[in-house]
Structure formats: C-alpha cells, structure tokens
Amino acid sequence: MNRVVITGVGITSNLGHSFAEVSQSLQQGKGCMHIDEERVKNGFRSSLTSKLPPILHTYGLDRTKMSEAAFYAALTWKKVLEENGWSEDEFAGEDVGVVVGNDSASDPIEEIFHKTHKYKDTKKLCDNIAYKAMNSACSNVLTEMIGCGGMSLTASAACASGAHAIGYAYNLIQTGMQQAVISGGFQEMNWLSMSSFDALGAFSDYTDPQQASRPFDKGRTGLVPGGGGAIVVLESLERAKANNHKIYGEIVAFSFSSDGSHLTVPSGEGAQRCILDAIEMSDVEIADIDYINAHATSTPVGDRVEASVIHNIFGENGPLVSSTKSMTGHECWMSGASEIIYSLAMMHDGFIAPSVNFHEQEDEAPKINVTNKTVYEAPRVILSNSFGFGGTNACIILKWFE
C-alpha cells in the first residue's frame, strides 16, 4: 500500500486567504463573525454568519459563470498554485484525479426560479445554468483547470463532505488507483443556502457575533454558519519525492461509519466506532494522539454527544481538544477539509488552537480536556472528526512526516 502525503494547501476562509494568515488567526484565537443584513431583511431567526476577508485578487476568474461554491473551488486552486509555486499544468495527467466535497448550489437555483417565474420562458436562462446548478460543478471546474484525466467526483455527505472526499482520495492513492488527487471542500455563504437550517432553529441566538460560536461551552445555543473553500493536494510518497514537493504531513488513517438511526440527532455509537476504526487502521495507539480537532459545532446535543464519545475513548485527561469552529463558525460542506488545513498549521507552527468562548462544560457532559487558550506545543499526531446530518461520520488521522 502506498503512503499518502499532503503536498499542497489552499484556503479561502474567514481566518485568511493563505496558510500563514490562517495560522496567525488560529494562534490569536481570532475569527470574523457578523450580522448579515440580508438575512435580517429576509426574516431569519438568526442573522449571524462568518465573514470572509475581502477577496482582492480573483485571478481573472469570471464569477458570473460559476456557482458560489464552484467559484471558491477555482479561486482556492489558484491559491494552491501560487502558495506552492507550481505551474498551471503541474498535475495534468491520467494518474491524477479530483475528489471534493460540496452539498448545495443555491444561487443558480435562485436564478432559475426567478427568471422562469418572471419570463415564463426557459430560453431566458443563461446557456450554462444547468452546469452552474450541479453540485458537481466544483469537481468539474477543477478537472478542467488542472487538466487531469483521472477520477472526477463531488461527494455530498452533509457536514462530513470534505472529510469523506479527502478520505476517498486517500484510498485511491493508497491502493495505487491514482498517484495524486486534488481534494477538499467548498461551502457557499449566500443567505438562501442557510434558510432551511435557520428554519430548524440550528443557529445561535446570541446578539454578539463574536460570542455566538462556543463549542462545548454550557452557554452554547447553536451554531454560526461559515463557508469558503479548502483544497489539499494528496500524493503518493513516491510521486511527491520524485517531484521534490514539500510535504506538509502524512495521512495515516481514514475511517467512516453511519449511525443508522436519526437523521439529525447523533447517537454517538457511529462516531465512537469511527474513531476506534481510524486508530486501528493507523500505526498509532490511543495514547499517541496529541490533539483532537473536534467536529463540535456549538449545538447543544451534538457537542454533548461528541464529548461523551471522546471521554469514552480517551478519558477525562486525554489529549487536548478544541473546535476551530469557535473561530470559523461551521463551514459545513468544507469543514472536514478546512480543518485538515488548520490542523496542519498547528503541526507546522507548533501550537494547539483554542476553543474560544469556552468556559465550562455543562454538568450533563462527561469532562474532556478542552483548551480555551493557545498552547504552544507541537502536535505530531492529530485526530480530526467530521460528523454530518444523516448520521454520516468520517475521521482522519494526520501525522508529522518523518
């Protein structure tokens, strides 16, 4: 089986537009949340959302020809090339694939509805609207830009989409079916994409945006939505060395499971099985894990269930735990990918990011080792959890490359 390493990263996040910016924001415990006036106007119960820094450089991309998620895919790929000093054709070839996560394309659907309703004539729709409206537009636009001839796939698995995409990419390389895969996840940020979640009452009711996302804290009332794009380049170790590519870290395990029960209320059984499977598949022991990047989104039930699972496996004095969603909000479809990048930043710059706004767990939750301060210790083995609606679970174990 091939060893699989990460050789490239690109990020479009409320924490920043580069690996260095993201690392700095994580160390400072700083994310940007705000009240979205469009959501206020449209009657949202919670108008909170994260906010991207201004996108000053679009690399000549035409936003009007892509869905918001596909635009983030294209933009973030350009950043990967720039960040790593690669040429446009660096990954052209049949042994390279694209596997990314995305689960919605709301803005083109809105365009279809309004123009069809207004004109009663589908010929008024732009000629690329069908392409724009597909979830798979994300993988399609990347495949075209990169010029790769291997697998091209968009995985839809709710808030575990990005992690499942990276895991599948890992499996493709590990088994030799591909030598490199561009992977990641993307999340649109328009108001329409979050209206159904607002209807569920899933969002925080805090009025101060910076205090609203508080994973594991007993005062949490719901999540704050976020979004953007995250790309990681996975390669076989042999290919990475042959091309003299920088190695950010190694993936040593990917596992998946389903709860097989309630669509929106996690049982914990599937998540616990998923974590244990990942550890069993890897070359690490439970005691080797230095840090857990929790899925914890700041929802009352989900965080409590995850705390129970972590406690069952690691105990009260287990590895340090934090949720970067305390700073980013819940980046939904991209979160399983962006949190791999955040974890790599911690590995490389020698710190563990805090769970900001965390003060105390509720009495009903088993105690785990949550940190609300930046800890300057370099984690060498990281467990990243991603759990989504429908009871879909994915866990990835990262290891410092040696």
Would you name the residues annotated as active-site residues? 159, 295, 330
- Extended strands (E) in 189-309: 228-236, 249-258, 291-293
Instruction: Give SS3 for 79.
Output: helix
For residue 52, give Cα distances in angstroms to 225, 226, 369, 393: 12, 9, 30, 27
| Residue type, position 23, single letter | S
Q: What is the DSSP string of 331-392?
A: -GGGHHHHHHHHHHHHHHHT-B---TT-----TTSPP--B-SS-B----SEEEEEEEETTTE
- The tokens of 322 are what? 């934090």
Residue 25 parent element (H or E): helix 19-28
Q: At what angle do helices 269-281 and 300-314 cross, to 10 degrees?
A: 40
> Tokens 């499971």 map to which residue?
257
Q: How far apart are CA 224 and CA 338, in angstroms?
A: 16
Beta carbons within 8 Å of 297's beta carbon, 6+ residues apart? 159, 215, 223, 303, 323, 325, 330
Kindly state the DSSP code that residue 212 receives in the 8-state scheme.
H
For residue 250, give Cα distances in angstroms to 14, 26, 237, 304, 400: 26, 21, 9, 30, 6
> Tokens 């563990």 map to which residue?
352
Q: Residue 336 in contact with residue 185, Cβ under 8 Å?
A: yes
